[in-house]
Structure 1
Amino acid sequence: MAAKVVVGLLVAIAVAVIAGAIALWPSEQSVDIPLPFQTTGGGAVTTEAGTVTSQSIGSCGSPDAGRPFSGNPTPPVNDSYECQRSIVDITTGDDAGKRTVLEIAPGPGQPDLRTGEGIRLVKQTDPAGAVQYSFNDYSRGLPLSIIVAVFAVVICVVARWRGFRALVGLVIAFAVLVVFMLPALLDGAPAIPVALVAGAIILYAVLYLAHGVNLRTSSALLGTLTSMGLAAALSYVAIRMTHLTGLSEEQNTEVQTYITHVSITGLLLAGFIIGSLGVLNDVTITQASAAFELASVDKTASRREIFGAAMRVGRDHIASTVYTLVLAYAGGALPLLLLFSVAGRSFQDVLTGDAVAIEIVRSSVGGVALALSVPLTTAIAVLLARPITSSRTPSSPRQAKPTRSRGSGRHSA
């Protein structure tokens, strides 16, 4: 009966999620490119690859600065100032095979280019129609590919087929965020339903792919879905109570300025919900596995005994995961905390400010949902791992069972 109830609930939730995805599916609307991401002509920024072939400190002001050319750049007209001069071979696009020179004045935040480095160049067109190149960023395609490949190989070697399925689930999770969640939020859909639908799709895919379609995974999934709903409710209440705006973060300010129909509070809510999925998934699958393993090891253990043993495991997991949750957010906010430490502001003002308060609320909401997910998931898993009809009841006490021994005459209860 417990299995039928859990499976029935998961099927009903899946149907509701599909209906929600259909209702919230983003329309094919066109959104203007925000000003900071436009070229001088108002279009999307395009980049080309380049390789630094020469770098020196010298006089700047060459007429060829940023222009594609062949051969050597034209010397500057005068020696008014010095800067870093980098000659770059353009390797992609219409000007592939040509060169350009980048003149970068030294200062904080300016790139320090070196010969042989790969970079990305922003390609724009000035009012006269001439092509102009400028430094955009370092080229990280190859090193990032190597790092991701090492990560995937290690996961697959250690976890084998299950690790590969987990990677497939990770790809699906990113696809859900890019194809559904972000466009839906951009379309002006309410943040909480969008985040709940996206989170549910991710959980169904990730859990069943990585851990298989079975009652153990189903108990963890139901516990995670319930905890995610609780995290959404807690996030909404916490943001309303603390009046968080999110405008302390530069990205949120740009969103409010250039994409005015998107709610910053909604983005915060969606971020809280999606951010809680990883840690909730970790805890719930551990609790479900612990309950099922305990039930299989001791066939005579009652549901109460299995629940108590699994909860002892869960309490240790909660303690360690809360540290992980808080320290992860603190690590991401280190630059901000460093600036506050030299700003001369009181400790209370720093903690109650919007930027730090967001991380405090995020950690607290995640911690509450995490703590409550442990007994909830454990109870569901125990009911599935030890059906009512097979558990030991007070009217049938555990009997002593003789252990076979070779002439020792010993017995164990």
Structure 2
Amino acid sequence: MGAHGHPEGPTLPMNRIAWAVLVPLALATLVGLVLLWPSSSPPPAQAPAQEFQGVVLALQAEECTGEQGGPPSSCGTVTARISTPDGDREIEAPLSSGPSAPDLSVGDDVIVAVSESPDGPIYGVVDHQRGSELVLVLVALSLALVAFGRWRGLSALVGLAITFGVLFVFIVPSVIAGSSPVLVALVGASLITLSVLYLTHGISLPTTVAVLGTMSALALTAALSELTVGLLHLTGTTDDISTAVATTYGIDTRGLLVASIIIGSVGVLDDVTVTQAATVTEISRANPAYGVGQLFGAAARVGRSHIASVVNTVVLAYAGSSLPLLVLVVANNDSVVKVATTQLIAQEVARSAVATLGLIAAVPLTTGLAALATRSAKADVEDAEPMSEPA
């Protein structure tokens, strides 16, 4: 193909090749969705305590001393009115103490748990109600997105709803039902990529290239995750929550760790691949004489700068989620080498490293596909024009 995009002999347009690859991927995702869809909800491991909504009516606090000479803490009782199927009733519960205990004031909306004992029901205030506050936060986010992004902001909100739907309707129930966490994560990540990218950026050749780049990088991320987790002998069981997941539901925590790396990489990969595909499109418009190599080189330079900032974002995101752990490590004055080799830290290092490798691979993969697609589309404008609108 010449520098000006004229075909040299018969050419199979790149957009046809892209769709020829994308359609089987979409069908495979659909088949995986059907095969892995949870047939029924698993029974709970034990009967959960009843919980009721209530409001704090009064507090009677008194100072008490912790066991074995511990620091003083707050003791006493809390009086609350709870709403039950049999009507409202007033109850008294111990005033909880400790770091995780809710900080209560008169008038607070709370959640009260009730458990049965031989001496009668036992009540405990376990948490605050946050429904109205969460709705307020989500409404503020939605208004800001729509006000700034308009239709794109609205489509982003719909895409966010789809992502949460896939997570809580398919991925989590399927894992609990006993399906392979890695297979479920791959199918779920593919479904999110296909639906959200096309919804947010429209059906276009750049979006199709971004989808293919994301899928390729996800496959590489999955393979690297399996390799790294095996190489470091990680089990995925590092705290009480992961232990409870394994013992209560029999879930493979090692597979769950790999699945979490795959799912955690999707959002950042989407960002990188969409940016690279759009960059190639804009460079091609600004420089119609550029060939595939020139388009790749120019867009790759942009990708290198993008990766440098995104990698920092990935590491900070994992560090932020593990900040209590980092505080504990520093407070104990443990050596860096000793701490880094523990499974708890090694697991987070593996997450960051594998996600970063997937991001790095996504740049040349997507940039190369976009450069080929753009030049091939220009070779047959009439055939590719309906799909060549920028994302």
TM-score by shorter chain over 0.5: yes
Deviations 1:319-364 (A, max 9, x none): 0000000011011111011112223432111111111111100000
Post-superposition offset of 1:50: 1.2
Deviations 1:282-325 (A, max 9, x none): 10000011111111122222222221111111011000000000
Partner of 2:49: 45
Structure 2 Cα separation of the partners of residues 29 and 323 of structure 1: 39
Partner of 2:302: 313
SS at match of 2:84: coil
Partner of 2:15: 3
Structure 2 Cα separation of the partners of residues 107 and 314 of structure 1: 48
Q: Is the 8 A contact 1:295 1:385 kept in 2?
A: yes
Code of the residue aligned with 2:277 in structure 1: it is: A
The structure 1 residue matched to 2:266, chosen from 270, 277, 284, is 277
Code of the residue aligned with 1:384 in structure 2: it is: A
The structure 2 residue matched to 1:110, chosen from 101, 123, 133, is 101
Partner of 1:89: 81
Partner of 1:196: 186
Q: Is the 8 A contact 2:56 2:79 kept in 1?
A: yes
Shift in CA distance, 283/107, structure 1 to aligned 2, threshold 3 Å: closer
- 1:364 equivalent to 2:376? Answer no
Structure 2 Cα separation of the partners of residues 233 and 325 of structure 1: 19
- 1:146 equivalent to 2:147? Answer no
Structure 2 Cα separation of the partners of residues 157 and 223 of structure 1: 31
Q: Is the 8 A contact 1:203 1:221 kept in 2?
A: yes
Partner of 1:240: 230
Structure 1 Cα separation of the partners of residues 160 and 123 of structure 2: 36
Q: Which moved more, 1:317-326 or 1:337-346?
A: 337-346
Partner of 2:70: none
Code of the residue aligned with 2:163 in structure 1: it is: A
- 1:17 equivalent to 2:51? Answer no
1:149-298 equivalences in 2 (<5 Å): 149-260=139-250, 262-298=251-287
Shift in CA distance, 19/55, structure 1 to aligned 2, threshold 3 Å: same
Structure 2 Cα separation of the partners of residues 116 and 234 of structure 1: 52
Partner of 1:402: none
- 1:55 equivalent to 2:59? Answer yes
Structure 1 Cα separation of the partners of residues 99 and 42 of structure 2: 37
Structure 2 Cα separation of the partners of residues 310 and 389 of structure 1: 18
Q: Is the 8 A contact 2:50 2:113 kept in 1?
A: yes
- 1:123 equivalent to 2:114? Answer yes
Task: Identify, as 1 or 2, the structure richer in helix.
Answer: 2
Q: Structure 2-normalised TM-score?
A: 0.87
Which consecutive residues of structure 1, in runs of 5 or more, have no partner in the other structure?
A: 61-80, 392-413
SS at match of 2:88: coil
Which consecutive residues of structure 2, in runs of 5 or more, have no partner in the other structure?
A: 1-12, 65-72, 381-391
- 1:304 equivalent to 2:288? Answer no
SS at match of 1:27: coil
Q: Which structure is larger by alpha-carbon Rg, 1 or 2?
A: 1
Partner of 2:92: 101
Structure 2 Cα separation of the partners of residues 19 and 159 of structure 1: 34
Code of the residue aligned with 1:27 in structure 2: it is: S
- 1:336 equivalent to 2:325? Answer yes
Code of the residue aligned with 1:156 in structure 2: it is: V
Post-superposition offset of 1:131: 3.9
Shift in CA distance, 255/298, structure 1 to aligned 2, threshold 3 Å: same
Shift in CA distance, 26/163, structure 1 to aligned 2, threshold 3 Å: same
Q: Is the 8 A contact 1:84 1:106 kept in 2?
A: no
The structure 2 residue matched to 1:323, chosen from 312, 318, 323, is 312
1:368-387 equivalences in 2 (<5 Å): 368-387=357-376
Structure 2 Cα separation of the partners of residues 177 and 267 of structure 1: 14
Post-superposition offset of 1:248: 1.5
Question: Which fold has the larger relative contact order, with Cα–Cα distance below 8 Å and residues 6 or more apart in sequence?
Answer: 2
Q: Is the 8 A contact 2:74 2:95 kept in 1?
A: no
Shift in CA distance, 362/58, structure 1 to aligned 2, threshold 3 Å: closer
Post-superposition offset of 1:106: 4.2
Post-superposition offset of 1:112: 2.9
Structure 2 Cα separation of the partners of residues 131 and 189 of structure 1: 38
Structure 1 Cα separation of the partners of residues 192 and 336 of structure 2: 39
- 1:137 equivalent to 2:124? Answer no
Q: Is the 8 A contact 1:235 1:365 kept in 2?
A: yes
Post-superposition offset of 1:53: 2.2
Code of the residue aligned with 1:281 in structure 2: it is: D
Structure 2 Cα separation of the partners of residues 185 and 106 of structure 1: 35
The count of corresponding residues between Structure 1 and Structure 2 is: 360
Code of the residue aligned with 2:54 in structure 1: it is: G
Structure 2 Cα separation of the partners of residues 242 and 348 of structure 1: 15
Deviations 1:170-197 (A, max 9, x none): 1111111222212221222222221111
Structure 1 Cα separation of the partners of residues 222 and 74 of structure 2: 56
Q: Is the 8 A contact 1:54 1:88 kept in 2?
A: yes
SS at match of 2:104: coil
Identity of aligned residues (%): 37
Code of the residue aligned with 2:114 in structure 1: it is: K
Post-superposition offset of 1:161: 0.8
Code of the residue aligned with 1:380 in structure 2: it is: L
Code of the residue aligned with 1:118 in structure 2: it is: D
Q: Structure 1-normalised TM-score?
A: 0.82
SS at match of 1:282: helix
Post-superposition offset of 1:108: 4.2
